[in-house]
A and B are shown apart, each in its own frame.
Chain A
Amino acid sequence: MDQLINYILHLADSNLILTQRNAAWCGHGPILEQDIAITNITLDLIGQSRNFYQYAAKLINETSGKEETEDSLAYLRTEREFKNLLLAEQENGDWAQTIARQFFYSLYQYFLYEKLQHSKDEQLAAIAAKSLKEVTYHVNWSSEWMIRLGDGTTESKERLTNAVATLWPYTGEMFLPANYESAMIAEGIAVDVIELKNDWIKKVTSFFEEATIALPENGFMQTGGKNGVHTEKLGYILSDLQYLQRTYPNATW
């Protein structure tokens, strides 16, 4: 049961941390329509993560007698307990870096949920089927921006190329299962992410061709996020995200 809970938390955490990052664009988007677009995507992501956290809380409480809630899981766990992908915690940078991060993540989510909707775990399957519709839209939006920036001006191309170079080392982790994940794959509950890699690379390659930018050489890949070993950036994110509940415990609206 612990392994299932860890797997659900991993799915929830990646969404939550990317939500926190994207939310910083609210009111600062390059133009109004795109400000609305990134925040709408972010709203979908937080909704999906709420579904995962609520499910995790239910399982934790049923097995341990604790009283976790979606809020306690988001606000009161420490950095080493977060199992989000390292990609999600990388900085917003400029618009190109935010777009590239969203594109890599949305495309991964798309292939992941496409399989997860057939999970033996009914609740995970339901969340995935629901989320897949939303993620399809995110892929469309972010891939169009990849093409626009890559095949745009010299300036936009340079920025996108830099963004891809910065983020690429954090993409490998998506396709390396953590131990809890492997255990759940064996039970037909989790998606075998190793099998997603080819489809993901293929799709990235075709969009990169259209965006006239080069695929980075396969280099060293950072790992650790799924097991709670993060880049230094997560601590800063959590100190913002959790500030209120840490400073004023049990504060409510």
Chain B
Amino acid sequence: MVVENNIIIEALWVLLEQVPDPEIPVLSILDLGIVRDVQMHGEQIEIIITPTYSGCPAMDAISMDIRLKLIENGFKDVKITSILSPAWTTDWMTQEGKIKLKKYGIAPPKMSGNSSDSSPVCPQCSSADTKLLSQFGSTACKALYQCNDCKEPFDYFKCH
């Protein structure tokens, strides 16, 4: 039974890998680091997630998408629990996720601790000579920068 459960839980993680972030569809919710745990209570599946920003409107959509993905795959009794502690940090974003972000044209977050002094690297031309245009960008998690070399403006996923 335990072995069987482990197999199901592994399968669930694979399914969660296929749920994209609605705002940045190139990232899966696993890349973002918001799925904290997957548990089974008899027939019931519990997915434990944590919000990125308190007011992030994508969280409701993500809960719905997880539910739909699992229902599509035959898991009918799905409970999604949101926990706040420990608070989400961009340090939980996977390395693979950061590479995907850069390819998508968004500068990935730096690790917290060595963040504030240097500007992010331009995702287009990889120049380190960039400037802040606005601390707030197109979503709560991003800031707006411009590259001084290739002149392209770009989003930076803020270190959080």
Contact = CB atoms under 8 A, between A and B. Distances in A.
Interface stretch (B1-9, B36-44, B54-62): B54-62
Given A33-B144, A126-B87, A47 B55 contact: yes
A43 B134 contact: no
A81 interface: no
Contacts of A123: 84
Contact of A137 (B83, B84, B135, B137): B135
A133 B55 contact: no
Chain B interface size range? 20 to 34
Contacts of A36: 134, 136-138
B160 A133 contact: yes
B54 A48 contact: yes
B136 A37 contact: yes
Contacts of A33: 133-134, 136, 144
A47 B53 contact: yes
Given A46-B55, A48-B54, A130 B135 contact: no
Interface in B141-160: 144, 158, 160
B140 interface: yes
B85 A45 contact: no
Contact of B54 (A47, A122, A125, A141): A47
A226 interface: no
A43 B55 contact: yes
A40 interface: yes
A16 to B, nearest CB: 12
Nearest to A131: B54
21 contacts: A33-B133, A33-B134, A34-B134, A40-B139, A40-B140, A43-B53, A43-B57, A43-B140, A45-B55, A47-B56, A122-B85, A126-B87, A129-B86, A130-B51, A130-B84, A130-B85, A130-B87, A133-B87, A134-B53, A137-B135, A141-B136
Interface of B: 51, 53-57, 83-88, 133-140, 144, 158, 160
